[in-house]
Amino acid sequence: MIPYMNALDLSQESKERKKLINDVIVNKILNRREGEHGTEILVSFNIDTVGEFQALHPEMPLFPPFDRHCQPSASERDTIVIIAQRHGRMIGCLGARLKYVRRIDEDLRSMKFLYEDYRTQAPYGEVCMVPSGAGSQIKFVSVALGGSGWVEGTERGHHLYSDMAKLLFILEHTRPGWDWTYQAALLSEKNMSRFACHPSGMRDFVGPIIYKLLPGQSVDERIYFLASRHREQADADTIRAEIADEETRINFPTSDEIDAQRARLWSSPPRLRIAQ
């Protein structure tokens, strides 16, 4: 793991963006974190860091795209992990993966999106059901996927998660080689306010994704949502001075917004296709 300032690379950005990102956004957030609260923000490009964090915090669910066992070919070229550390103890983790999808709905159904080798890596009997149209606009592109975010209970409520997400977004947008078209997040009911996309992503919020449904599990208990937005939208939302404001929310959509979306989508019986 290396200090955030060592990982930040704005060498390919315009002069104006360098000033804005380096001098305003990153400066303010790091000062807030490391100056006032003594929390170091570190960066790793190794997916195993997520596993190490999860080993310290077993209560954190390990999302398959960030699990080495499910992603044996993950490399430093397609992985960014932000770690918050206080007095040598890792207290927060947030990851991003760069994944190439043929069609995100098909890759979800086949579960290639989650497991590089579905037949050997996925639990026996697990299926992923995707309603028609969900994410169908995301095809043949690289997707920046966020996930495996978790903060110790005692550290919540101080914008730590929000700041980690902002710093992660900046690395996603500026790191050479991270060329992607869509930013995506899979939100579970239990994890809906931790990490997500801006409300602008709700426009692409086509429907609920139900996946990892094991025999005997209830569909209602296993609902996940796919939130996505174009890179341009994500960039305009992320690279702006206000993002350094402590009050700026990034944990969209909120529970209420998810509920509203669910109510709209589930007002009529969903048409689900079960993966073969």
Partner 1 sequence: MTHITFHDRLATALRRRLFPNTGLQIKQVAGAIGQDGRNLSRWINGESKPFAEVIEELGRFFASRGDNSFIAECYGIETTPDLTGLRASIEKVLGRLPEPAPVLALTKLWFVDGKCVPSGAGHDQQVRIMMGLSQHVGGDLRASYCRNRGAVALEARHGGAVTIWHHATGADAESLTACRDWLAKHSADITTVRRLLQIEDTEATVDHEDAASAIAALDRLAHPQREATLPLKVDRLSLDECPAYIGRILKVHSESPEQVIPAAHDLGLMGMASILTVRGTAVTNDYLGPNIRFDRSDILGRNVLDRKESIYGATVYARAQEVRRSGPILTRITGRAYEQPLDYLSTMVPAGNSQILAIPHELEVA
In the complex, the residues that contact partner 1 under the rule CB under 8 A are: 2-6, 8-12, 15, 18-19, 21-23, 27, 30-31, 34-35, 38, 40, 176
CB of 15 to partner 1, least distance (A): 6
CB of 8 to partner 1, least distance (A): 6
Q: Which is nearer to partner 1, 19 or 156 (CB)?
A: 19
Tell me which residue of 6, 177, 4 sits closest to 98, measured CA to CA.
177
Q: Which is nearer to partner 1, 15 or 119 (CB)?
A: 15
CB of 87 to partner 1, least distance (A): 12
Q: Which is nearer to partner 1, 8 or 168 (CB)?
A: 8
CB of 76 to partner 1, least distance (A): 10
CB of 24 to partner 1, least distance (A): 10
Q: Which is nearer to partner 1, 164 or 209 (CB)?
A: 164
Q: Which is nearer to partner 1, 30 or 145 (CB)?
A: 30
